[in-house]
Amino acid sequence: MKRLLALCLLAGAACLAQAGSTSTGVDEQKAALKELLHLLPKSEPWEKWLVATGQMPPRFQALSNIAYLPDPLRFTGGREVKREDWPRRRAELLSLFQYYVTGSWPPSPRPVRVAEQTSREEAGATVQEVTLAFGPNDAARLHLEVIIPKGEGPFPVFLTQDTHRRWALIAVSRGYIGCVYAGADSHDDTEAWKALWRESDWTKLTRRAWAASRCVDYLFTLPNVKTNQIALTGHSRNGKTSLIAAAFDQRISAVISSSSGAGGACSYRLFSEVQFGEGIENITRTFPDWLHPRLRFFAGRENKLPIDQPELIACIAPRPCLISSALNDSVESIWAIEHTYRSARRVYDLLNHADELNLRYRPGGHETRAEDIEAYVDWLDGVFGRNKSYTLQDCVLFPTYDQWLKLSEENIDATQFPTNGLGGLLHDAEGHAITNGAAWTAKRQRIRDQVLWALGQAPPFAESEAGGYGAEAGHRAALLGRAAPPEGVTRQSISFGNYVSGDLYYPAKEDKSGRKLPALVWLHPISTPQGYTAGYRRGDQPHLALAKLGCAVFAFDQIGNGTRIEEVKNFYTRYPGWSLLGKQVEDTLAAVEALRKVERIDASRIWLLGYATGGMVALHAAALDDQIAGIVSVAGFTPMRSDTLDKGTGGLARWTRWFPLLPRLGAFIAQESRVPYDYHELLATIAPRPAFIFAPRVDYQSTLADVRACVDDARRAYELYSAKDALHFEELDDYNHFSPETQQAIIAKLRQLLGP
């Protein structure tokens, strides 16, 4: 790595010298490159690109912190975009995308020439095989198949990539010209173009998008084509391609992006590794030629990326765009998709075409069916005016903060709450020092009361033993990749609490040992498509890595994730006074309660282990249940009272505006010091039970120094019990993701705690 770094720095220095650049900020860029090469998994194509080009990371400190999605209706300098400004803002955004994501491409080579053409008649259509020639000396070639239905034209066009030829046949049956071009893995003419335009730093997906525009060039020459009704469609990587093409080529009349995921309709910020998504690191390493290598600089620092994918879709406005997603498709997240939809829709609203941006959800995973394609053509018939009666049903699932406000009728005045912070933990309500257990017990109950207020009014509950009825069905388990655990691990699916299904994993050899096993409850982060099963990862699935410790691991999907996505839609309609975090905590406590009654489990050794939002849940649950043996929280929090807007982490808005897990906190935005409780108090209520806090060194959603100070303050409560070492803090030499390296650090600690 040192030799690679030296080569990169030498190349970078040469580029800077040639460009006449000063040394300002160069040391910062060198340090950032060194850190990236240290933290990111090895990627040989990227590292070769670094050496060949001398590219350096941006000066991250000079870039704005944008924790949430960038605003499509503000220029880079911050000025608000008016309707008449949109063409300039669109041009600005497309320029940024070319620099950071897509790379650049050559000017349109008009006119294209037909180099070869054959035609054949079939029962219901004429099929033309066409080879286009264009570019330097007409050396570029692109093959396309044009399938023209019988009858009088002109016809609308269903344009798609070679992979989806059978999609086009459905469209032909519905009166569309099907145009299929060689810009897909199954047939790709665009790879050869790299040698023809060496000055362009375009990528594979960009070349394929540019190829779609060459098809449009040709279609515009055909008299039987309705040139104002050319629709471009694609699935998965072809869905990404379709969005890129439609954003840059305004002649494309409508676009359908089917399961385009990361680099498509999912934002990098809300579908990163933190959400077990196909984040920047994964996509740039696994598919290094899809997007520009420059994008990899932002792995773990997504907040510094000046643009994000919702703005690409905004650049399609006001033309019709359908974002199609599957509920349990691991390449995307319905939660992230809905934020993309709301962000891009603001531009459609500005241009008075709000109804032209639509969502469609389908059941299952990444696959599509004939009915899905028929529905895509239904939508095209609607937006092209071919079916005046067509309407698309609203399918938005995730509630918003504004919806919660309306349903709950809450009117919280934050100024009525006292200011607070670190330092007052061991003082009672009158300001007297707490020096003994009795006084602390009273203070701890007040903290719990404040936590319960924030979680909201829980509905009535009754205890429930675990049982087999209502356990996860085999086909659902197969869909989510958890039907067949590896050899040596037993999986037992059970139902618990208020009819929630979960899975107990333990070493198969323990079936007959009779030994009481310690148990870990695995609490996953926001992981919409897959729930507790990580969609994208390196190394073992977290629950399986933990099961190899020799203990039992219990895992279940939190509401809004995995098997329980639809459950989130009407939650606040049903329970307006409660909170989603309250529900997650209640389900966790029900899981612990069920485990205590499982014969093979040691009821005195049930731990909670949570990552990201799962870490939040673990801290709240353990603070409310003294029988939980201990907790491990990984990247689970940053102190709320110090998480002010200027920190650039997203602050309280993350748990109110982005995902209304704890909506009552919304009243305290810009009044953070008045939040009724904070994480040092949660940790203090867990004392003297063991609590292990892991925090990554690089995490834009958290302030490491504040987390450390929070743990240090909570340790004073542990000292009341002479147990200060039971509260452990460890800084991970990593960025925020549940990597194999992070897993090993946690497992090493758990081995010490749980024994052999």
Using DSSP's 3-state secondary structure scheme, residue 386 falls into: coil
**Are 262 and 268 within 8 A, CB to CB?**
yes
Residue 48 sits in the same domain as residue 172 = no
Using the predicted structure, report yes or no on whether residue 145 has a pLDDT greater than 60.
yes
| Residues 365, 470 within the same domain | no
> Does residue 614 have a pLDDT over 80?
yes
Running DSSP on this structure, what letter comes out for residue 297?
G
Whether 299 is covered by a domain: the verdict is: yes
Is residue 719 included in any domain, yes or no? yes
pLDDT of 228 above 90: yes
The model's confidence at residue 9, banded by pLDDT at 50, 70 and 90, is very low
Domain closes at, from 40, 62, 84: 62
**CA distances in angstroms from 42 to 37, 285, 289, listed in the order given:** 8, 8, 15
Question: What is the number of alpha carbons within 13 Å of residue 152 lying toward its C-beta?
Answer: 0
Identity of the amino acid at 465:
E
pLDDT tens track for 560-584 = 999 999 999 999 999 999 999 999 9
Q: Among 45, 62, 79, which residue terminates a domain?
A: 62
Looking at the domain assignment, is residue 391 inside a domain? no
Mean pLDDT, the chain, whole residue set: 93
Express each pLDDT in 661-708 by its tens digit: 999 999 999 999 999 999 999 999 999 999 999 999 999 999 999 999
Q: Name which of 122, 134, 238 is nearest 187 in CA terms.
A: 238
- Is 83 domain-assigned? no
Q: Are residues 602 and 710 in the same domain?
A: yes
399 belongs to a structural domain: no
pLDDT of residue 513: 75
Q: Are residues 54 and 141 in the same domain?
A: no
Q: Are residues 9 and 130 in the same domain?
A: no
The CATH number assigned to the domain holding 171 equals: 3.40.50.1820
Domain count of the fold of the chain:
3
Domain of 204? 113-383
Residue 77 has pLDDT above 50, yes or no: yes
pLDDT by residue (tens digit) across 78-91?
999 999 999 999 99
* Same domain, yes or no: 278 and 361: yes
Q: Of 324, 358, 383, which residue is a domain's last? A: 383
3-state DSSP percent of the chain in helix, strand and coil, to 5: 40, 20, 40
In which band, very low, low, confident or very high, does the pLDDT at 10 lie, cut at 50, 70 and 90?
very low
Are residues 346 and 460 both part of a single domain?
A: no
What is the C-alpha to C-alpha distance for residues 702 and 734, in angstroms, rounded to an integer? 13
Does the CA dihedral 693-697-703-709 come out positive or negative?
Answer: positive
Answer yes or no: do 516 and 637 share one domain: yes
Question: How much of the chain exceeds pLDDT 90, in percent?
Answer: 86
Average pLDDT of the residues in 206-211: 98
What's the pTM? 0.94
One domain for residues 192 and 314? yes
488 and 378 part of one domain: no
- Asked if 521 contacts 607 with a C-beta cutoff of 8 angstroms, the reply is yes
User: Which residue is listed with tokens 């032209």?
Assistant: 356
At residue 506 the predicted structure's pLDDT band, cuts being 50, 70 and 90, is: very high
Q: Quick check: 73 and 80 in contact, CB under 8 A?
A: yes
Name the pLDDT band for 117 (thresholds 50, 70, 90): very high
pLDDT for 247-287, tens place per residue? Answer: 999 999 999 999 999 999 999 999 999 999 999 999 999 99
Query: Residue 1 has what pLDDT?
Result: 52
